[in-house]
Structure 1
Amino acid sequence: MSKYLFDNLSYLKTFKNDSSTAIVTDIDGTISEIAPTPDEAVVTESMQNALVKLNDKFQLVAVISGRSVLNARAMVGVEGLLYVGNHGMEFLKNGHLSMDPLVEKYLPQIQKSGQKLKKGDLSHINGLMFEDKGICYSIHYRLSNSPENVREKILNTLQNDPECKNLKISEGRRLVELKPPVNCDKGTILNNIMDQYNLKKIIYLGDDITDSDAFNKLKELENEGKIEGAGILVRSSEIPSYVKKHSSFFVNDVDEVLKFFQWLLN
């Protein structure tokens, strides 16, 4: 079971004092508060300033998000970071945008399926928000009257729709998502970033189901002796208990993430 980070900061001193450390973080629920809709979420000026200083101090600061990469970049608003969007299917670094070549052929189908769901099969449910992210298509049910019942309806609709059969259906905090069926998650992204930047020390921060892939990969790489890793979970009541088991440490909220960043910088 993960330990409370601020009772165990001594374990992270080697990361703090080594400029080759990499900080890899999720956005929503980790460096920004969860908001009723994605457009309402913000990264505060204090958090932005901390990210700028972390990027100056350490080898790499990377932001991995389920948002589109351009939306992630606009939201965080810090130059010089590595931005990874749509769960690792697109990258933005120093103005250069690239997409996983395997996803392109699925884009028309995802667009078509998303529009069909929005206009027909799920249009009668109050409180749903449909988000076209280019590569992926999200259905947010946070604002619905009975979130758990609505979640079941969305999943059943997608699983019974023949057009969604060869697409990937995944879940996050109060959302269900259609994705291209490629082998791409936050664990594979972490592995790729490690190889590309020759990283030896990685701190990963996240708050959601999708972050458990990164926490597991971090432990796997550490067990293989490839890196020193620290997985930090931002706890919430909205995620399953198994996610809490996969991280090394936990904090209670976004404010404590900022407090940790400030500790790294002092």
Structure 2
Amino acid sequence: MGLTSLRERLASVSASRILLGLDFDGTLAPIVPDPDQAAPNPQAVALLSELSHCLQRIVIISGRDTDFLVSRLALPQALFIGNHGLEERDGGASRVVPEAQPYLERLARASQAVEALPQARAPGITIERKRATVSVHFRQAAEPSAAGAALRPALQEIAGREQLQLQPGRLVWEFRPPIDVDKGAVLRRLAAVMQPAGVIYLGDDRTDAAAFSALKRMTGSRTVAVGVRSPEVPDDVFVDSDLMVEGVAGVTQFLTQLLDVCANA
């Protein structure tokens, strides 16, 4: 989508009434072998800082926990939604949504059970314990696909025993509470509360498909769903996207265009 097309899609929408949502990994930050080393594109962060002064609100919606997001993104006016909607941070302390609270002990037991698995001790397997989820990364394994397949049966058994969901991601398995919260639900809730005239969302992974779907079906606001293409994610994830950009660099270009729209509104 060029600058003219973006303006046309947001025609008659005041920039001050646009809600902008973005994923973190693969969207603002390049995917890296060690998740702890992920860092956002500095130019993208600078653009978001400028956009925060003209848009209604910027919200980061990620599978990361909110403490990590705040440590990487110097955006004091942004709203941070972590663990795909299971926790939230808006200027103060992070909080886990009430529906997830009963599952925190089960997640702790699941994490301990994974740590005890022989498969999880293989080189390149890392366990990430977050506030409301547990992620098992296999990106750094010698053969990631084989490592993920080897982990799956044992992880499914643990998930069943603890009554948790086991979801796949980009070379990661994730344990989650079995509650109906995803990025699409987050956007619907925020739109209902904030009543924006326009909603834009950028994301790159399977968990972002729910956000794209929510925008496609949203009424009362002009919407732009932006898929961020990468070799690891199949095209069917982006079936509800309005446009595609190429990786983190493409996101930066899009934000530059959006800032131009703001400047000339």
Query: Does residue 226 of structure 2 align to residue 229 of structure 1?
Result: no
Deviates more, 1:109-118 or 1:62-71: 109-118
Which of 68, 71, 75 pairs up with 2:68? Answer: 71
Deviates more, 1:59-68 or 1:111-120: 111-120
SS in 2 for 1:24: strand
Question: CA shift at 1:229, angstroms?
Answer: 0.7
Query: Does residue 86 of structure 2 align to residue 92 of structure 1?
Result: no
Counterpart residue number, 2:263: none
SS in 1 for 2:43: helix
Quick one: distance in 1 between partners of 2:220 and 2:118? 47
SS in 2 for 1:210: helix
Deviates more, 1:49-58 or 1:117-126: 117-126
Counterpart residue number, 1:255: 249
Deviates more, 1:157-166 or 1:249-258: 157-166
Question: CA shift at 1:121, angstroms?
Answer: 4.3
Query: Does residue 262 of structure 2 align to residue 265 of structure 1?
Result: no
Amino acid at match of 2:245: V
Counterpart residue number, 2:125: 128
Counterpart residue number, 1:240: 234
CA RMSD of aligned residues (A): 1.9
Counterpart residue number, 1:112: 109
SS in 1 for 2:72: helix
Q: Does the aligned pair in 2 maintain the 1:129–1:140 contact within 8 Å?
A: yes
Quick one: structure 1 residues 145 and 7, their matched pair in 2 at CA, closer, same or farther if it must change by over 3 Å? farther
Quick one: distance in 1 between partners of 2:240 and 2:187? 15
Counterpart residue number, 1:102: 99
Question: CA shift at 1:62, angstroms?
Answer: 0.4
Amino acid at match of 2:128: E
Amino acid at match of 1:252: E
Quick one: structure 1 residues 126 and 59, their matched pair in 2 at CA, closer, same or farther if it must change by over 3 Å? same
Query: Does residue 83 of structure 2 align to residue 82 of structure 1?
Result: no
Q: Does the aligned pair in 1 maintain the 2:61–2:82 contact within 8 Å?
A: yes
Quick one: structure 1 residues 206 and 197, their matched pair in 2 at CA, closer, same or farther if it must change by over 3 Å? same
SS in 1 for 2:139: coil
Quick one: distance in 2 between partners of 1:160 and 1:108? 17
Alignment of 1:1-266 (within 5 A): 8-14=5-11, 18-161=15-158, 164=161, 166-221=163-218, 225-266=219-260
Quick one: distance in 2 between partners of 1:123 and 1:202? 40
| Structure 2 gap ranges (5+) | 261-265
Q: Does the aligned pair in 2 maintain the 1:113–1:163 contact within 8 Å?
A: no
Deviations 1:122-177 (A, max 9, x none): 33422111100021000011111111111212221122337545101111111110
Amino acid at match of 2:224: A
Q: Does the aligned pair in 2 maintain the 1:173–1:238 contact within 8 Å?
A: yes
SS in 2 for 1:19: helix
Quick one: distance in 1 between partners of 2:243 and 2:2? 5
Q: Does the aligned pair in 2 maintain the 1:129–1:141 contact within 8 Å?
A: yes
| Structure 1 gap ranges (5+) | none
Amino acid at match of 1:136: T
TM-score by length of 1: 0.91
Quick one: structure 1 residues 5 and 114, their matched pair in 2 at CA, closer, same or farther if it must change by over 3 Å? farther
Quick one: structure 1 residues 15 and 189, their matched pair in 2 at CA, closer, same or farther if it must change by over 3 Å? farther
Quick one: distance in 2 between partners of 1:5 and 1:48? 21
Q: Does the aligned pair in 1 maintain the 2:159–2:165 contact within 8 Å?
A: no
